[in-house]
Amino acid sequence: MLKLDSTTRGPSLSKAWEVSKAHKGAFSGGKVELSRDGKFLACLYEWDVSFVDVEEGVVTKRLRSEGSSGGEEEIVSFALHPNGSEIVTASRSLLLRHWEIATGDCKRAIKAHDHIVRCMDYDGWVQCFAFALPSRGRVTHL
């Protein structure tokens, strides 16, 4: 958050901004999605998804995906379920994973494609889930 010193006037106004709260390690490029209730942001950070509380501006949770060898695998895209309690991630291992956000439990994993998923989203009625591959798009039920 930034706050402005109200005593500063004129051309030096830009020098009056100061950081009142900051955090590191929430976003490293890629997708950012606001929950429908506006309470948190989900964003890609390194190999995982960070959940940032909008009011407090702090990371409250990180979702990490483990590969078959036990190490972390890179999450490249995600989609928040409209109910705000579930998320689907896509990783470099070509897996789609359906997660419960509160517990961090993976409900299911699906290898439903042969290319890295670039983007994904739920439809407006939450009946279908769509994802895009470099060569084509697909729609499925989760």
Q: Is the pTM of this model over 0.85?
A: no
Task: Identify the pLDDT of residue 7.
Answer: 56
Share of the chain above pLDDT 70, in %: 63
pLDDT of residue 1: 47
pLDDT score recorded for residue 116:
81
- Taken in order of first residue, the domains within the chain and their CATH numbers are 24-140 (2.130.10.10)
What is the per-residue DSSP string for 51-103? EEETTTTEEEEEE--B-TTSSB--EEEEEE-TTSSEEEEEETTS-EEEEETTT
